[in-house]
Structure 1
Amino acid sequence: MLVGVGLFVRLSLEESPEFAAVKAQNTVDRLPVVEVFRECGGRVVLMAGGILSAGVAFTLASVYSLEYARTGLQLDKDTMIAVLLPATLVIIVCVPLAGKLADRFGNRRVFLAGAVSLIVLPFVWPALLQTREYWLMLLGFTLLFIGYSANYGVVPAYFSQVFPARLRFTGMSIGFTVGLIAGNAFSPDIATYLLHTTGGWLGIAVYMAAMSVVSVTAACSSGRRATHRARHAIRFRTIRLRAWPTTAPHRSIDCRTSYRT
């Protein structure tokens, strides 16, 4: 059913003007994967780094917390699930809200706000879990998921500006996949090792915060590349607009107002 709904939504959407222009100019690459690594290898790495904070936070909160409840808190998994499930409802509300805020304040600000919060919240979340009080544990998960939603909710819109239109889908797919593998696949094992080595949750919190620092750094570097690309596109559109005949020469168009980092 979900596949059918997703297919219906996708077929109902029109291509963006940039993709339509690439198709009209017949500049679609036959082997986009090769071109991505040839032209945009660094950008793929930046996107993979940018998604680390969200991947690590979500995986440890939704998966590893069940094991941590048993080994670190001496709680049964049913108790932790009873805390975790209501908290996940926050994501359903906050991800669309993050998109709405990004439309108003810019993708960059919302993404970085979420990533920076995930530097601090890993120290708050386990501390609240240590209380073993239901409402305080629920508060810990809720705060973490709010930061995660702000960070993750604007990833496609933020990083889409990093890649040229003809390589955008492939570049984002590779960067997204590499980042999720690095963040999601290995984080439970790393957290388990840190817990057994340090004997407490502090090592896990430092690990989560460090991954968020990587994401902030990658996002800032990606933002500079996206801004450069946007300014180049603005100059190109301005030249085209000036060269195109118009019946209203007195009317000026400021293309810069349509782009926000």
Structure 2
Amino acid sequence: MSTITAGPAPAPATGLRKVILASMIGTTIEWYDFFLYGTASALVFGKLFFPKADPLTGTMLAFTTYALGFVARPLGGLVFGHFGDRIGRKQLLMLSLVLMGGSTFLIGLLPTFMQIGLFAPLGLVLLRLVQGFAVGGEWGGAVLMVCEFGDAKRRGFWAGWPQAGVPAGNLLAAAVLAVMSAAQSEHDFLAWGWRVPFLLSAVLVAVGYWVRVTLAESPLFQRAIEDAGVAKAPVLEAIRRRPGGIAIGMGLRLAENISFYLITTFSISYMTETVHLSRSFALNAMLAGAAVECCAIPVFAWLSDKIGRRPVYFVGAAGMAIWGFAFFRMIDTGLTPNVLIAVIVGLVLHGAMYGPQAAFIAELFPTRMRYSGASLAYQATSIFAGSLAPIIALALLKATHSAVPIAIYLAIAGVISAFSALRARETKGMTFAQIDAETPAT
């Protein structure tokens, strides 16, 4: 079959804006669901589903169920990537949204340990696995729709908007929980208030589904199918033909994934259980940081189109390797300005990695295997990065009673990602036709 020698003309501005809006709204809603679980793990799940453990152990058990969502993410990425490269991006995006919303809604209805015993944590585990499976397929489809509709010169900027949906989802989850926490007593919040944000997911998913259902399929994907045919096993093809791309993508993800969950999930527990700050203050600090990062991500994505993906990503990774030491020292002071600066700077550095990441990873793979390759590189890392980060951090804290080993752990991850950024080739401005031509169809 012939190779792809030219990409389709860029989509009209109105069409591209619609794709960006739909991708960002859907991503925000799905990550609202995913992060809601993480925040609830830090605040309530240890008490309600593992009540016989001491506070730190109960939180660690809750984080373990939280980590299972990450274990399921690569499976979701493989399944959704396989079918996304065979039947299209749009249908898989719709399915991931419904699966995520349904599992989150059911968590809001789940009885606690005091009501049904061990069936409560078992139900929590099952629903968390469904969440992980769904979000494993979400990222690849959302960013590829934007990447493949947009033009090469501004691909980093366009693809940065769905990325901004991730902190926006975190912002929304923290905001809803903060409102419920502030408006209720500790007893009422633990009794029923925590359920409300999970039940609200049904409304949000309905909105996201309505927005996404109006989208057209990616024109670049359709052209690729016409010119080069459907890959029989796109995941295996990506592993065989682009192993270096998968390795680079995983290296890039390491510090970004670990740092995000240390800052947005573990640090809430650290603030409340170790530094003894109020639950409301910890959530408000996350709100402030997430709001700033929502604005920072498109800026870094735009900058990656101007000076390159590599330098922007390197600054974020290297900066995070250093900032981890200041982050915990500033939180330990318990002073409001210090805690806010620690969280905001940490999430801005994360944004320097996350902003260009969508385009950077998407450009590692040709169209016929892009959903599979990008999803594999992105999601496989989460098994030993984001999923384990809160657990490793809690274990280090229990063993040493110090945050310094946690900062060292973060620094090692930062060095690996910074090195990966330097090893990656610069892809800013490259058309997908050029990238596709490097991997002829067989």
TM-score in terms of structure 2 length: 0.48
CA distance in 2 between counterparts of 1:97 and 1:13 reads 27
Q: Which amino acid aligns with 1:3?
A: Y
- For CA contacts below 8 A with separation 6 or more, give which structure has more relative contact order: 1
1:90 matches 2:292: yes
What does residue range 154-169 of structure 1 map to in structure 2 within 5 Å? 154-169=356-371
Question: Is this contact kept in 1: 2:310–2:424, CA < 8 A?
Answer: no
Equivalent of residue 5 in structure 1, options 186, 208, 211: 211
Once the two structures are TM-superposed, the CA of residue 164 in structure 1 deviates from its matched residue by 2.5
Once the two structures are TM-superposed, the CA of residue 180 in structure 1 deviates from its matched residue by 2.3
Percent pairwise identity = 24
Q: Which amino acid aligns with 1:125?
A: F
Once the two structures are TM-superposed, the CA of residue 7 in structure 1 deviates from its matched residue by 4.6
1:39 matches 2:241: yes
- Would the alpha carbon gap of residues 13 and 139 (structure 1) be closer, same or farther in structure 2, given more than 3 Å must change? farther
Q: Which amino acid aligns with 2:211?
A: V
Equivalent of residue 220 in structure 1, options 415, 422, 442: 422
CA distance in 1 between counterparts of 2:244 and 2:381 reads 13
TM-score in terms of structure 1 length: 0.79
Once the two structures are TM-superposed, the CA of residue 101 in structure 1 deviates from its matched residue by 1.2
CA distance in 2 between counterparts of 1:74 and 1:50 reads 34
Structure 2 counterpart of 1:107: 309
Structure 1 counterpart of 2:219: 15
Cα deviations by residue, 1:129-167 (Å, 9 ceiling, x for unpaired): 111111111011110011001101111111222223321
Question: Is this contact kept in 1: 2:362–2:370, CA < 8 A?
Answer: yes
What does residue range 51-200 of structure 1 map to in structure 2 within 5 Å? 51-200=253-402
Q: Which amino acid aligns with 1:4?
A: W
Unaligned runs of at least 5 residues, structure 2? 1-206
CA distance in 1 between counterparts of 2:385 and 2:213 reads 28
Once the two structures are TM-superposed, the CA of residue 105 in structure 1 deviates from its matched residue by 1.5
Cα deviations by residue, 1:173-200 (Å, 9 ceiling, x for unpaired): 1111112232211101100111122221
Aligned residue pairs total 229
Once the two structures are TM-superposed, the CA of residue 51 in structure 1 deviates from its matched residue by 0.7
Once the two structures are TM-superposed, the CA of residue 123 in structure 1 deviates from its matched residue by 1.2
Unaligned runs of at least 5 residues, structure 1? 238-261
Once the two structures are TM-superposed, the CA of residue 100 in structure 1 deviates from its matched residue by 1.4
Question: Is this contact kept in 2: 1:107–1:158, CA < 8 A?
Answer: yes
Once the two structures are TM-superposed, the CA of residue 222 in structure 1 deviates from its matched residue by 2.8
Cα deviations by residue, 1:203-261 (Å, 9 ceiling, x for unpaired): 1111111111111222322327x69x98x949x79xxxxxxxxxxxxxxxxxxxxxxxx
Cα deviations by residue, 1:58-86 (Å, 9 ceiling, x for unpaired): 11111111211133212232221122212
Q: CA RMSD in A?
A: 2.5
CA distance in 2 between counterparts of 1:27 and 1:13 reads 16
Once the two structures are TM-superposed, the CA of residue 5 in structure 1 deviates from its matched residue by 2.7
CA distance in 2 between counterparts of 1:13 and 1:212 reads 37
Structure 2 counterpart of 1:203: 405
- Would the alpha carbon gap of residues 27 and 222 (structure 1) be closer, same or farther in structure 2, given more than 3 Å must change? farther
CA distance in 2 between counterparts of 1:233 and 1:65 reads 43
Structure 2 counterpart of 1:242: none
Once the two structures are TM-superposed, the CA of residue 13 in structure 1 deviates from its matched residue by 7.3
CA distance in 2 between counterparts of 1:3 and 1:206 reads 42
Once the two structures are TM-superposed, the CA of residue 201 in structure 1 deviates from its matched residue by 0.8
Q: Which amino acid aligns with 2:259?
A: A
Q: Which amino acid aligns with 1:137?
A: V
Once the two structures are TM-superposed, the CA of residue 42 in structure 1 deviates from its matched residue by 3.7
Q: Which amino acid aligns with 1:79?
A: F
Q: Which amino acid aligns with 2:219?
A: E
CA distance in 2 between counterparts of 1:13 and 1:139 reads 42
